């Protein structure tokens, strides 16, 4: 095992143990939570090493980097998650490799993804990104639709050819009423998810929790945690 592989294995073991403990504390089955490793800024060699260590779910937040890594690892059985803010003009590229887009937050993006997916004969899973700190009718600073806009957007995804409504996603707000309160934020996401599943029962993915707050997310019912730093190390520079 290379030094880097051993390092990633040790980090993965630590994260795995955190997820297992959080599941146990919440009375949840470990199998209810999927670990997605966010490989942004790290080389494709790391994606390969992670795959060798059993990771199947990878995430990226920029199309160019994601497209390149997905292409260079096309021989591996990976599921790609797109988790970054997405311009409509990148929809055509993203539908080529992404199995799930976690950052669907406006109608124009739904239309662009639907057209692109249909043209490629693909079906892409979409999560509505919720900005818990956004005012009614606005977008969050880091993307996301305000809570009162979730239902209409979800209905649009569910009705769009080439798309599948998979669930909801959030990033714990750094400002506003939820700042420093990830558990309350994730509880709110869970409520939004429950309400959504009354009309869309199959939309069961709840994507929440990063390196710093995965325990709170698992406690609040997250089905997918998105972990970068705790597996790969601190990223050089702010992304
Ligand atoms: C980078 C990123 C993550 C991972 O964050 P870490 O703090 O490095 O674990 C999760 N979700 C999104 C949307 C990201 O951009």
From the CA of 144, how far away is ligand 1's center (Å)?
A: 15
Mean pLDDT, the chain, integer: 96
Ranges of each domain in the chain:
3-231
Check whether 58 has a pLDDT greater than 60: yes
- The tens digit of pLDDT for each residue in 96-142 reads 999 999 999 999 999 999 999 999 999 999 999 999 998 888 788 88
- The tens digit of pLDDT for each residue in 6-19 reads 999 999 999 999 99
CA distance 221 to 213: 13
Closest residue by CA, ligand 1 atom 13: 83
**Taking a C-beta distance cutoff of 8 angstroms, is the pair 144, 134 a contact?**
yes
pLDDT value for 140: 81
Query: Measured from the CA of 210, which atom of ligand 1 is nearest?
Result: 9
**Cβ-based neighbour number of residue 192 at 10 Å:** 21
Fold of 3-231: TIM Barrel (3.20.20)
Closest residue by CA, ligand 1 atom 4: 228
Query: Measured from the CA of 212, which atom of ligand 1 is nearest?
Result: 7
Is pTM, for the whole model, over 0.85? yes
Pocket probe for ligand 1: among 11, 14, 19, 38, the residue whose CB has the most ligand atoms within 8 Å is: 38
DSSP β-bridge partners for residue 225: 35
Query: Measured from the CA of 231, which atom of ligand 1 is nearest?
Result: 9
- The tens digit of pLDDT for each residue in 136-182 reads 887 888 899 999 999 999 999 999 999 999 999 999 999 899 999 99
**Cβ-based neighbour number of residue 223 at 10 Å:** 18
Check whether 197 has a pLDDT greater than 70: yes
| Predicted confidence band of residue 238 (pLDDT cuts 50, 70, 90) | low
């Amino acid at each position: 095992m290379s030094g880097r592989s051993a390092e990633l294995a040790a980090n993965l073991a630590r994260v795995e143990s955190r997820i297992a403990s959080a599941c146990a504390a919440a009375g949840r089955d470990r199998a209810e939570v999927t670990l997605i490793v966010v490989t942004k800024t790290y080389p494709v060699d790391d994606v390969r090493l992670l795959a060798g260590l059993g990771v199947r779910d990878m995430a990226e937040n920029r199309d160019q980097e994601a497209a390149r890594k997905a292409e260079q690892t096309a021989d591996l059985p990976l599921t790609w998650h797109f988790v970054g803010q997405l311009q409509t003009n990148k929809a055509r590229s993203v539908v080529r490799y992404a199995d799930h887009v976690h950052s669907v937050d406006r109608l124009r993006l739904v239309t662009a993804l639907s057209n692109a997916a249909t043209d490629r004969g693909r079906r892409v899973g979409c999560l509505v990104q919720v900005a818990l700190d956004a005012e009614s009718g606005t977008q969050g600073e880091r993307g996301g639709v305000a809570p009162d806009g979730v239902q209409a957007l979800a209905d649009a995804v569910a009705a769009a050819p080439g798309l599948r409504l998979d669930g909801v996603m959030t990033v714990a707000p750094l400002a506003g009423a939820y700042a420093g309160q990830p558990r309350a934020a994730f509880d709110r996401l869970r409520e939004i998810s429950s309400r959504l599943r009354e009309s869309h029962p199959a939309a069961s993915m709840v994507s929440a929790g990063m390196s710093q707050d995965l325990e709170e997310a698992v406690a609040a019912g997250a089905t997918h945690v998105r972990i970068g730093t705790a597996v790969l190390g601190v990223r050089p520079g702010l992304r």
